[in-house]
Amino acid sequence: MCGLGGYVGSGSERVLDAMTKLLAHRGPDAQGTWVGHGVGLAATRLAILDLSPAGNQPMGDASSGVYVAFNGEIYNFETLRTELMSNGHAFHSRSDTEVLLRGYREWEDSILARLRGMFAFAIWDEPRRQLFLARDRLGIKPLFYAQVPNGLVFASEIKALFAHPSLAVQLDPAAVDDYLALGYVPSPRTIFRGVHALPPAHWLRWRAGGLETGRYWRPDFREPVLSGREDDLVDELDARLNDAVRSHLLADVPVGVFLSGGIDSSLVAAIAQRHSAEPLHTFTIGVDHGGDERAYARQVSAHIGSRHHERLAEPALEAELARLVWHLEQPLFDNSVLPTHLVSQLAREHVKVVLSGDGGDEPFAGYDWTRWALVLPSLPLAPVGGGWEWAYRTGTIGLLQRLYYDLSHRAEERYVRRMIASGAFRRWLYTPGYREQIGRDAEDGLRGLLREAPVRDPREALLHADLLGFLPEDILFKVDRMSMAHSLEVRVPLLDHHLLEWVLRLPWAMRFQRGRGKHLLRRVAARYLPASIVKPRKQGFTVPVGRWLHGALGDLARALFASEAFAARGIVRQDRALQLLAMHRSGRFDLGHRIWSLVVLETWCRVWLDGQSHTQSLRAMVEASASG
């Protein structure tokens, strides 16, 4: 695991040195740079495999003129290494980075199809004067780039791009609408004008000033459906889960597991412990009056025999928000950012690598929003009236209004309602001047994922949207930033592409049955876990932001929204933001997510646009604004 950066065209060693400083948290064990003619690479290393200096980066082969900077892990590197040695390649380390280097020499771009793992990398091919960038299939590891005069600059994190003197921090207005609609900014767009995210499963080639991108993999639900008895499919899934988890335990340092107490992380922990000679370290965070599942995590730990560590999270959102926004770099309204940050901090006190249970919901229809979109019938009812307030009204009336909407619409529309802040709401919220800057509708991308999904069954389109939308842009984005802020590598065995491609071939009833997802996964889990863990229940780290907004956090939000700086942005009408807060605090509406998204956006603006310190609390920001 590392951080990488570099440039082609204009640049200097000073730029590379600045990049390594900005990426030091991603790789505190070693830093390095390489400079060629009109090209440079930078890398920071978190040593996991081959801890010797032989694994340091950037790594090059002077005889062929190929140089690489690599972030991630290749779990089948030993198999590839054996094949390359049989083809005459000599190795000087035991690192997967060198396998990538020599594999590119042997197979060039087609190496992507051979890689099993999570990765983002940059390869400079001197004979061709070509830069080749690529990102893993699901988007576990990030990679960003921006065009500069006569070239390109790229890095694992956006902040490192701004080490290049040709780039300046500028807001992309349309990306703000994406964020306020979806809760994240979907790739390839970022919140910064001119900065792009290389999407999952994509490559980029720069040569002679020309840039092209392409896609090398996509999840496809149209492969031949698996047949056979359910018990046989349970056995096969069990074997494939064991293969995926075992492959992800490969390391020259101890490996732990994030253990929330839910079925996914518990199953990963149980299988990982089965393949470990010593008790694993497991980690969980509880949130007071929020998603506190520590009791379940303790039960799993006792059952599998792990060395368990837990911590109760204090309500520290206002103290940590600016720091979190600095590491996230883009606004993200997911309030589980804080517990993810805290559990990563806890884990790093004991290990450098953890496994997580992320990736179990998307292919198995495990999310509540997907479930409710699927289970309700569509009836020939007249559509619900206009406005947006009904979507947030509390009590029986609000519940009935939302139920009426769901019954009068198809599954895809029920899904979109749950995933997006409606256009009616956003038009009400925005200033007239900002509305004119937006252009396209933020819903278009999500609707495209639904419309263009390669599926056998139309219900699978919702899973396709979860896999290509929410998973990489929210879940994996959040986990990478919060873990790497603490120099912690997080591996995701449930997203092993060999396993995922098999799961996508399952009959629908093996994934979703009797109104619940994860049917086959639960049957496997029953072999490893207590019945109380396998039983469906509400899961996950949650922070009770809605409740906190009735107290001190709400007072801070009011001060933010009433500030001159907030009004001067010209994005959200100040009176409307304050009205939202008043509606929420009245108890008649549940607008916690919408208000929190505005708090995060304004904090992001103060850190990234106004240059306020990310080490100060939200309260200090508010007080400084008031005194200024």
Coil/strand/helix, residue 319:
helix
SS (H, E, C) 11-73: CCHHHHHHHHHHCHHHCECEEEEEEECCEEEEEEECCCCCCCHHHCCCEEECCCCEEEEEEEE
End-to-end CA distance of the chain: 43
Residue 232: burial class (beta carbons within 10 Å; 0-12, 13-18, 19+): exposed
Contacts of 399 (CB under 8 A, 6+ apart): none
Query: Would you mind telling me the total number of residues written for the chain in this entry?
Result: 628
Coil/strand/helix, residue 355:
strand
E strand intervals along 344-423 = 353-355
Burial code of 75-90, b = ≥16 C-beta within 10 A, e = fewer? bbbeebbebbeeeebe
Contact, 125 vs 77, CB < 8 A? no
Going by C-alpha positions, the residue among 462, 493, 518, 463 that lies closest to residue 234 is 518
Residues 312, 317, 319, 321: what is their CA dihedral angle, to the nearest 10 degrees?
130
Going by C-alpha positions, the residue among 427, 546, 411, 369 that lies closest to residue 181 is 427
Q: Which residues are catalytic?
A: 2
**Other Cβ atoms within 10 Å of 514 Cβ, number:** 7
**What one-letter code names the amino acid at 519?**
H
Please name the residue that has the structure tokens 């409710």. 372
Contact, 57 vs 230, CB < 8 A? no
**What one-letter code names the amino acid at 276?**
S
Contact, 422 vs 388, CB < 8 A? yes
Tokens of 335: 């309030």
Residue 399: burial class (beta carbons within 10 Å; 0-12, 13-18, 19+): exposed
Tell me 393's DSSP state.
Answer: B
Question: Which residues face 489 on adjacent strands?
Answer: 353
Tell me 561's DSSP state.
Answer: H
